[in-house]
Amino acid sequence: MSNRIEQVLKKQQEQQKAPSESEIENVIQLVGFMVGEEEFAVPILGIQEIIKPIEYTRTPKTPPYVLGVFNLRGSVLPLIDLRMKFGLSRSKENEDTRYMVIKHNDEVAGFVIDRLTQATRIKESAIDPAPETLNDDQNFIYGVGKQKDKLISILNVEALLKRDF
């Protein structure tokens, strides 16, 4: 009896192990979103949460892309407009606008994005490093993910959260 249980358990374990191992090895889950006309993505593990726009307070003496600070359940977080950060005009808030709260180590900040697209899984082998020409002073792009019909720029969470003023 106990022998059989063991066998069943063993089998189950093997089944669980087999597929997941290969997946963990080379698949990254990404959350895609639009900023301006371009689609970007960040690894899902870097995202703390995504919220609808709420009120924020302007902070003086900061670059224009730092819109201000907002209150997320008792924590005061900076709010950064990704459009302006990427050199586009300031976002107009609409129904699709979201604040994406991104976390890396102890650093947390909210980023204004125009629209969420979709969550995707992408094989690590399908990610190319950012082209040299893009790779200038500010290293926001971690890599370019190739999908069937399009390319998607994967952002470097750490670089996004780095203060550069």
Per-residue x/- mask for other proteins, residues 82 to 121, rule CB under 8 A?
----------xx------------xxxx------------
76 touches other proteins by CB under 8 A: yes
Whether residue 164 contacts residue 80, with contact meaning beta carbons closer than 8 Å, is answered with no
Nearer to other proteins by Cβ, of 47 and 108: the residue is 108
- Which segments within the chain are labelled E, that is strand? 27-35, 38-43, 47-51, 56-57, 66-72, 75-81, 98-104, 107-113, 115-123, 127-129, 141-146, 151-155
Region binding other proteins by CB under 8 A among candidate stretches 8-16, 27-35, 56-64, 115-123: 56-64
41 touches other proteins by CB under 8 A: no
19 class by beta-carbon count within 10 Å (0-12 exposed, 13-18 middle, 19+ buried): exposed
Among the listed residues 28, 42, 66, 154, the single contact to other proteins using CB under 8 A: 66
Among the listed residues 48, 62, 120, 138, the single contact to other proteins using CB under 8 A: 62
Could you tell me the smallest distance in angstroms from the CB atom of residue 94 to other proteins? 9
Placement of tokens 């971690």 in the chain: 142
